[in-house]
Amino acid sequence: MKKHEIKIAFKEYDSLEELSATDLNLCNEAVKALATSHSPYSKFKVGVALLLKSGKILYASNQENVAYPSGLCAERVALFNWGANHANDPVVSMAVTAHTDEFELLKPVTSCGACLQVMAEVEKKQNSALKVLLYCIDGPVWVIDGVQSMMPFMFFEERLTQTV
Ligand SMILES: [Zn+2]
């Protein structure tokens, strides 16, 4: 028997003001994206802003549907839009934030497993790390340099024929 241990690392900042100007700007853009959220069922708005290598910013938000499984998380709305329209312009970083009037958010909202898998494939497709900024509007910011740190067991076909 072999025991394996995997460590992940991320940075935590106490507030948005501690970020670089570029990261701060992207976070502020993600807040703007909250306005387009269609979330009448969960009442939980999620906003995303993607910074592309060219400097272009893409916006997305969660889109719900009365037939619940038909909705989609903001992260995947953003990344599928990127894949369909801007795939030759790599994603440098992604800011994700959330807001609800139902309760106070004290910690950054983390992406679901399905979104992490999609984020991982974007990294693989563009062959460069995707920096992820997760934050509360008036709270801490978590910065993750690459999706591998968030999901070390992500599914890739190649992995099936490799030893751990
Ligand atoms: Zn998700």
Chain segment 115-153, per-residue pLDDT in tens: 999 999 999 999 999 999 999 888 899 999 998 888 888
Residue 5 lies in a domain: no
Place of tokens 């269609």: 38
35 Cα–ligand 1 center, Å:
18
| Gap from CA of 15 to ligand 1 centroid (Å) | 24
20 CA from centroid of ligand 1 (Å): 26
Q: What's the pTM value of the predicted model, to 2 decimals?
A: 0.92
Q: Is residue 6 part of a domain?
A: no
On whether residue 74 sits in a domain, the answer given is yes
In a domain, 131, yes or no: yes
pLDDT confidence band for 7 (50 / 70 / 90): confident
Cα 43 to the center of its chain, rounded Å? 19
Q: Is residue 1 part of a domain?
A: no
pLDDT beyond 80 at 159 = no
Q: 34-90 pLDDT, tens per residue?
A: 999 999 999 999 999 999 999 999 999 999 999 999 999 999 999 999 999 999 999
Tokens of 59: 């916006």
The conformation of residue 108, written as its DSSP 8-state character, comes to P
Whole-number pLDDT of residue 164:
55
Q: List, as one string, the DSSP characters of 2-70.
A: ---------EEESSGGGS-HHHHHHHHHHHHHGGG-B-TTT--EEEEEEEETTS-EEEEE-B--SSGGG
Q: How far is the CA of 70 from the centre of ligand 1 (A)?
A: 13
Q: Is residue 4 part of a domain?
A: no
Nearest to 131 by CA among 96, 98, 97, 92: 92
Q: Which residues contact 135 (CB under 8 A, 6 or more apart)?
A: 16, 27, 95, 96, 97, 108, 141, 142
Task: Assign 163 a pLDDT band (cuts: 50, 70, 90).
Answer: low
Residue 42 lies in a domain: yes
Does 139 map to a domain?
A: yes
**Domain around 121:** 11-161
Task: Work out how many domains the chain is built from and give that number.
Answer: 1
Does residue 64 have an active-site annotation?
A: no
- pLDDT reading at 157 higher than 80: no
Q: Considering 5, 17, 18, 75, which one is annotated as catalytic?
A: 75
CATH number at residue 110: 3.40.140.10
